[in-house]
Structure 1
């Protein structure tokens, strides 16, 4: 499958790229700066900025799937969607945030009293991006929210999936590694189960 990853040089993006290549997919890795040349002929690095829809449109043309893995606080999401939409790639998977997940019926994590202020500049735009996708009529989108703690770790392949509720493990923590998140995302790329929907992954 021909997959384009926007933000392929980031923390999650590098793991998603590694997982996609592990499965034999042909990947175009898109970043604002040139990526590494490690001799992998299955990866084509392209330099393009989401702030330039024309450049994004050109970089994405001819692919089957786009994966968007970028910080929401610095992204004009409507402009990004415009470039993706005009590329003709109809399928979009977004690396989302956990803060818009429910922790009780009708209450999302972001709106709880103890939610850290320093995370809100990223968490609120992520929630707005999800709301914007829910109004999207052209793209077949999927928004994958990680658990609350999202960072480097092991590739275990052992995790749970949910929909709109924050997942908590037996140890009381809500966490997922970048590596296992990448597995869940590529599983969705290969076997779509959450068309025009959000889902979540955690231990």
Structure 2
């Protein structure tokens, strides 16, 4: 497949690129600092979400899958998350893109009926703004009338650097936990699950959760 990846230089985005590339997919990376991104066999194009004059559609040629791995933590502009979801749902149907896969958050997953992870006392305060922003983006997707097929992929409550085990479980709106009550996934195995979904298209217009 031909993929275009927004946020390819980020922590999660770079793992998705590496996993997709290892499976033979063709990748175009959209990054702010074109000169600082040097990944073999990846086409690189400059794009800055913070620059309203940047024409996204002009950067898409014949790719069919768009991957978005963005957040507002670095610059503190969390509103960019929801706004980007709206922008992609609006602009991508006019291009060759057939599917949008979004790196989501875990905060909006339910830990009990009508109780989201973000609303529990244990949720870290430093991640709250980011989690709220991802929850707003999810609402954008769920209430969209865009013809574009989307998938919002939430990691476990804890996503960490770690070796690839090539194993994971998937869910929907509920937080996935193990027998000890932990919700964890390595970034490498999150990328495995993400690229599996690119290839299998098993969660069209749905949220998908991923954890061990």
- Same fold? TM cut 0.5: yes
CA distance in 2, matches of 1:155, 1:5: 21
Q: 2:106 is matched with which residue: 80, 84, 98?
A: 98
Aligned residues: 201
Give 1:148's aligned residue. Answer: 157
Q: Pairwise mapping of residues 153-168 of structure 1 onto structure 2 (< 5 A)?
A: 153-168=162-177
Shift, 1:36, TM fit: 2.9
Secondary structure of residue in 1 paired with 2:56: helix
- Asked whether the equivalents of residues 7 and 69 of structure 1 are also in contact (C-alpha less than 8 Å), the reply is yes
Shift, 1:116, TM fit: 2.5
CA distance in 1, matches of 2:43, 2:192: 21
Give 1:63's aligned residue. Answer: 63
- Asked whether the equivalents of residues 7 and 13 of structure 2 are also in contact (C-alpha less than 8 Å), the reply is yes
CA distance in 2, matches of 1:66, 1:159: 23
CA distance in 2, matches of 1:144, 1:132: 14
Give 2:45's aligned residue. Answer: 46
CA distance in 2, matches of 1:30, 1:21: 15
Give 2:131's aligned residue. Answer: 123
The CA RMSD over aligned residues, in Å, is 1.7
Gaps of at least 5 residues in structure 2 are 73-77
Give 2:18's aligned residue. Answer: 18
CA distance in 1, matches of 2:54, 2:90: 9
Give 2:27's aligned residue. Answer: 27
Q: 1:136 is matched with which residue: 144, 167, 170?
A: 144
TM-score, normalised via structure 1 length: 0.92
- Asked whether the equivalents of residues 155 and 209 of structure 2 are also in contact (C-alpha less than 8 Å), the reply is yes
CA distance in 1, matches of 2:37, 2:125: 35
CA distance in 2, matches of 1:147, 1:96: 10
- Asked whether the equivalents of residues 174 and 202 of structure 1 are also in contact (C-alpha less than 8 Å), the reply is yes
Secondary structure of residue in 2 paired with 1:94: strand
